[in-house]
Amino acid sequence: MRIDLVSLFPEMFASVLGSSILKRAAEPVADPAAPDDPSRIRPPVCSYHLHNPRDYADNKHAKVDQSPYGGGAGMVLQCQPIYDCVAAAEAVEPQIQATRVVMTPKGRPLTQKLAEELAGKPRLIIIAGHYEGFDQRVIDELGPVEVSLGDYVLTGGELPAMVLVDAIVRLIPNAIGKSDSAHHDSFSPGSDRLLDHPHYTRPPQWRGRAVPDVLISGDHKKIEAWRREQSLAMTRERRPDLLVKQNPLAPSHGDARTPLAVPVILREALPVDHDAIDALLKATFETPAEAALVQRLREQGDAPIEILAEVDGQVVGGIVFSPVTLDDGDGRFRALGLAPIAVLPEFQKRGIGKALVRYGLKQCEDARLTGVFVLGEPGYYGPLGFEKASGHGFTNTFGADDAFGVKLFKPVEGVKGLVRFAPAFEGL
């Protein structure tokens, strides 16, 4: 990646770009396992280029700002030196398509998702403002991505530009030693966009504080589950907004209920949630059959995806996805079945159930499944993207073709067969 930085104070960038990972990313790096092998030298993954708009001022004093029309405090950066500086920067290696970025408090908040988006670009031209900002006409002409660090104002855009560069460069492949570490950071895809779990290292005891036993147990499944639980707990405590996928508490058409003024948190269920989900199922359904079904699915390892809805710490809804098999002859159809779905009676008719289904379907799609099957009311599941499964040539062991639906995530031709739900469903 080529990174061009437009700033009235380019000298501010020297120490940041010349240190740590940002410096290493712009240099060739030898493979530690074979430091003398030139064929195993990692070339630079990015380069930095500084440009000063003062060099393009059209006056002998290199003045680039003027007082604003209409009066007011402060000075405004003029169009001509900014535009000409950006144009000159782009004229160098013009074959590399550039994405223009302006640092401004009025911009799009910088998030990990935005950093990931920009890290995929071949070239960035990051423009740091100063004083009262830019003449709006140069912004309109350049059409940049406008980025803000947050709801506060600094003396200039140089520090925000450095932060943006740091957030982006560490995401470029091979910029850091272990690329997986960035993937699992807070707000990143590997952490489901949640806060990272706590980390520990040697010694096992320090000032009376011990490393959690699970981390030195050697049981990697338990360690993974512990880290997941810690991540969710910390996010729930410190940043519950990161858990809010949707707020489906507005009443449906014709419902006189008053919408609640609290968010609904949709998240993956953990083993510690099982008792609360069981209580939910027993409170939602007239018989204990659904709770017993979910219990059997868990015992047989057939509940790979459980999603729950929380309101103010209370589990108010949940759904389960379980494996299905298809007698299609070649096993190329990877699918899950959706059942059961439960929402506490006092929280029904607020869209929570459909929000749970949509969230669960997104997880299934991200897992590269071919589709999801359901036995349920077509009028309910149709708006969620389910079609009549028999129309695609599928049948089921329950003989309930009218209520048998499928949600396909990818086009599938010529696949027909008998769909068998998990063994726990037998005898229902």
pLDDT at residue 248, as a whole number = 46
pLDDT at residue 427, as a whole number = 72
Among the listed residues 314, 307, 299, 316, the one whose alpha carbon sits nearest the alpha carbon of residue 339: 307
Domains, in order of start, for the chain: 2-179 (3.40.1280.10), 189-199+211-240 (1.10.1270.20), 264-425 (3.40.630.30)
Tens of pLDDT, residues 237-246: 888 777 755 4
> Region 389-415: what's the mean pLDDT?
86
Whole-prediction pTM: 0.66
| pLDDT band (50, 70, 90) for residue 179 | low
Residue type present at position 1 = M
Is residue 382 helix, strand or coil?
Answer: helix
| pLDDT band (50, 70, 90) for residue 191 | low
| CB contact set of 375 (below 8 Å; sequence gap of 6+) | 337, 339, 396, 398, 400, 403, 404, 405
> Region 76-100: what's the mean pLDDT?
97
| pLDDT band (50, 70, 90) for residue 262 | low
Catalytic site positions: 105, 132, 170, 185
> Region 101-122: what's the mean pLDDT?
94
Helices 289-299/274-284 angle, 10° precision: 150
| CB contact set of 187 (below 8 Å; sequence gap of 6+) | 111, 112, 113, 193, 194, 195, 242
Say whether pLDDT at 183 is over 90. no
